[in-house]
């Protein structure tokens, strides 16, 4: 039996689209939650405009995934991913898109900051007394490679 996705009720608002379910917004019982989801969607759409190309809303993540393949250390991969996503954004903005959020200069500052934090992390790995080092078992190679018996120490 073929059913329509929603029943028409007083709890739905029609936004001027005739003969279609498009434009119907289910209000639900939790208006606070629905309003939160609406604001999250709006923020997502604004940010996605700056980060991804028009044809593929995931292009920034796909670009970042190419970068992380060059690294074996999961922490290095995390830094590379963040940097890759910002580089994808920068590429979109330098190609002529008008930013919805932060400026091109802010994006470049973010990239500089991520690289600086990454450099500090890598430097701290080389000092056995550092806070970074104490989170890893001594089986972590100082080049950042994790051996099969590497353990993350708790506490």
pLDDT at 143 over 60: no
Mean pLDDT of the chain: 77
| Cα–chain center distance at 78 | 11
95-99 long-range contacts, Cβ below 8 Å, gap at least 24? 97/49, 97/50, 99/50
What is the distance between the alpha carbons of residues 68 and 65, in angstroms, rounded to a whole number? 5
Task: Residue 102: name the closest of 115, 91, 90 by CA.
Answer: 90
- What tokens does 103 get? 């400026």
For the entire predicted model, the pTM comes to: 0.62
pLDDT at 150 over 70: no
Task: Show me where the domains of the chain are located.
Answer: 1-51, 55-155
Question: Which single residue is written with the structure tokens 């029943």?
Answer: 7
What is the distance between the alpha carbons of residues 53 and 3, in angstroms, rounded to a whole number? 36
- Lowest mean pLDDT, pick from 21-30, 53-62, 125-134: 125-134
Give residue 126's pLDDT band: very low, low, confident or very high (50, 70, 90). confident
CA distances from 124 to 41, 64, 80, 98, 120 (A): 39, 25, 18, 39, 6
Pairwise pLDDT comparison (125 vs 80), residue with the higher score: 80
pLDDT at 99 over 90: yes
- Longest Cα–Cα distance of the chain, Å, equals 69
**Angle, vertex CA 44, rays to CA 73 and CA 40, nearest 5:** 110
Give residue 125's pLDDT band: very low, low, confident or very high (50, 70, 90). confident
pLDDT tens digits for 128-140?
A: 655 554 444 444 5
Residue 17 phi, psi (nearest 5): -105, 115
């Amino acid at each position: 039996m073929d059913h329509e996705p929603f029943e028409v009720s007083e709890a739905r608002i029609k936004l001027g689209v005739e003969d279609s379910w498009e434009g119907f917004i289910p209000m639900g019982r939790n208006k606070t939650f629905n309003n939160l989801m609406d604001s999250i969607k709006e923020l997502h759409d604004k940010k996605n405009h700056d980060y991804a190309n028009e044809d593929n809303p995931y292009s920034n993540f796909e670009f970042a995934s190419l970068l992380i393949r060059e690294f074996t250390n999961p922490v290095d991969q995390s830094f590379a991913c963040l940097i890759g996503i910002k580089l994808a954004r920068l590429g979109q903005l330098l190609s002529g898109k008008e930013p919805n959020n932060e400026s091109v200069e802010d994006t470049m500052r973010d990239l500089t900051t991520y690289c600086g934090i990454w450099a500090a992390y890598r430097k701290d790995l080389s000092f056995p007394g550092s806070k970074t080092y104490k989170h890893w078992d001594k089986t972590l190679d100082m080049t950042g490679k994790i051996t099969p018996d590497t353990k993350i120490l708790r506490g």
